[in-house]
Amino acid sequence: MFHLGIDSCCFCWQIFFTCFASALLAYIIFGCFKRRNLNKAVLERRQRFADSKAALRKRLATTDTVQLEKRRLIVQLKFSDLAEKLQKGELSAVDVLHAYQWRALTICDDTSCNCVVEFVDEAEEFAKQLDHLYNKDSNIAKPPLFGIPISVKESIQIKGHDSTRGYVRSLNQQASESANLIRLLQDAGAVPFVRTNVPQTLLSFACSNPIYGRTSHPTHFNRTCGGSSGGEAALIRLFGSVLGVGSDVGGSIRVPAHYSGVVGFKPTSDRMTQLRSVASIPGRPMMCATAGPMGRDVHSLVMFMKALLDKPMFDSDPYVMPVPFRDEIFRSTEPLTIGYYETDGFFDALPCCRRVVSKTKQLLEQAGHRLVPFQPPDIPLAVSLIVRSCVVDGGQYIIDQLADDLVDPCVRLIHILYCTPVRLRHWLGKLVRPLDAKSALLLGSFASSTADLRRAYEAIGHYRTLFVERWKRASLDALICPPHAVVAMPDHVMARLMSVVSYSALYNLLDFPAGSVQCSVVSDRDEQSVEDEYNVRDLSAKQVFQNCRVGSGSVGLPVGLQCVTLHGQDELCLRLMAEVERLWSRQQSPDMMRRVIKRKIDLADFNCPAMVNYDGRHNMVGQNRQPQVRMVSHMQLGCLRCGKGPSSHVSSPVTGQCPKIELFLCHCLLGQAFSLSFSLQRQKLLSLEKHPPLWLDSALLPLENNAF
């Protein structure tokens, strides 16, 4: 009997292990099969995109030099000039669309930026309808955005296209209706023509997902362009779009604008329609997300807001405040009382970010405004409330979305964190506090129950009251501060640097309108200041220090400024942004521009042969091919700041043969390995000095007079 009991026990254990091994094997096989199907779906989508590009490239192909020159001139036009020419009928909607499609294709083919994920096939037919409807009868008033091509963040719904947010499982789920915002923009005459990349989950300051891959910084390819509207920022920076539509829940418009060197605006949430919008985590009533514009100048943002804040939006969405754009506030010249802070005391801002705030303070004071110091109250509490209000379910929505999906490396840490039980997160927070107090605060901030969430909502109401009371005591009209504590970092760093959110997400928590304006770039002195001044007090600060110190490659990265006003004061915020942009543009000296252009161009040497780049192809400019020479500025070629010759520069298709015919732009200003072409005719040098091409003007705009 004893032996029989032992045999029975062994038999039971054999059955148990057999069942366990079978279940484990089935799980592994099922997982492999599932991953195979997901990878197949990704490959199919990428192939469709490649086929779409090939078809569009064939449709736009031309050897007509006049047509090519026209396209180049169109994409160089400022928004105001482009809109004026479209309104007057000097340009057609189709011509402008073709120019920007051509430019977007060039970016896809000639750079590793990878910001475009889809071309909107219906764009050409819509542009033709606009031309047919409005250009045949000059008596019909054109809508305000007539013929303006707009790029759209991939997460914003367009009818007939899927909005995956980087989730492979969401592929091939086409939207039955466009988001209300897109429909209103089309009614205003805008032409959605391309969609841009986003990070998986939309909850990352990097920009990568398993479907479309990684979007890099437009000029520093080893760094991120920001997220989640990173594809928008990169495309606009590369002149692939004149106006873009992004969305912002924690800085997703302002941070990419700051990183990539463009402008972006987050409106007050109840002044912009949210109907049929797709959120990163639906159901967050206290963390106010909103769509907003991105562009190359503030004027484009103003025109976007003017076109939308009108009766059609108020009629279509009853949850939008029926307040039209108040032009009298935007155009007012009354002096303002403006608060400022260079660092929030939670995450130390880099010296370059503090320098921009300090310099802007001086410029605004010289313009007649009153600047007063301001410190936001209790930033650690605000960060804790941001986490609780953003991840209302403790991360369960993200867990469910990623359960049967491929997980991108940039969100893997977030995924692991959300899969960790809430109480264990709190315990881990206590464990890491001696090493990194900021990360510890984030780990301990997740709501553990519905009662905890209710208390968080109550605390948000109290915090908003506290903030507004401090604002009113200082008699502020507006506020300036850094958009982020850091400039563009490598993707893997941003995947771990979640505690940097305090500068941008604070104004989502408060639901204040806020915008980012491009002002300057990181200089050699800024890198040295990191070595001398930056407080490396924890692991997060150490990562920032390592990627911004001398020799880290941060020189030339854009640096922006954030402008903030009270809830509903969107026009005042845009007014301040426009004034900041104008004041910084005056720092660009005409003498400096002439030095830049004349430094490396000698018209007497135009007959010297030189290798140049023409639309991605390398050609030899011969002895007598005048009067027009096409040249390319390769951003790795040199530094006007130090005046070194071509022998000191890295290898490039343009170096070596005729340095005087090459236009060198500062590597410290614009970054690495990306090119933009322009035309230079011998008889037009003086005109070029007085009216430089838009891309050159935009590139040099952030520099101070002593930058060289």
How close are the terminal C-alpha atoms of the chain, in Å? 96
Helix (H, G, I), strand (E, B) or coil at 676: strand
Q: What is the CA radius of gyration of the chain?
A: 27
Q: How far apart are CA 293 and CA 289, in angstroms?
A: 13
Q: Which of 252, 280, 300, 523 is catalytic?
A: 252
Of 581, 583, 571, 375, nearest to 479 by C-alpha is 375
> Which residue do the tokens 């109290």 mark?
462
Longest dimension (CA), the chain: 110
Q: Which of 153, 266, 361, 600 is catalytic?
A: 153
Kindly give the pairing relationship between strand 337-340 and strand 610-614.
unpaired
Binning the chain into helix, strand and coil, the percentages to the nearest 5 are: 50, 15, 40
In the annotation, is 153 catalytic? Answer: yes
Query: For 127-190, where are the E strands, in sequence order?
Result: 149-153
**Apex 340 CA angle, 337 and 345, nearest 5:** 150
Pinpoint the alpha helices (H) of 89-204.
Answer: 93-110, 123-135, 180-187
539-578 burial, b at 16+ Cβ within 10 Å, e below that, comes to bbbebbbebbbeeebbbbbbbbbbbbbbbbbbbbbbbbbb
Sheet strands side by side (includes 370-373):
116-119, 191-196, 149-153, 243-248, 290-295, 263-266, 514-521, 558-564, 478-481, 337-340, 370-373
Q: Which of 92, 208, 228, 502 is catalytic?
A: 228
**Apex 529 CA angle, 523 and 535, nearest 5:** 135
Positions annotated as catalytic residues are 153, 228, 252
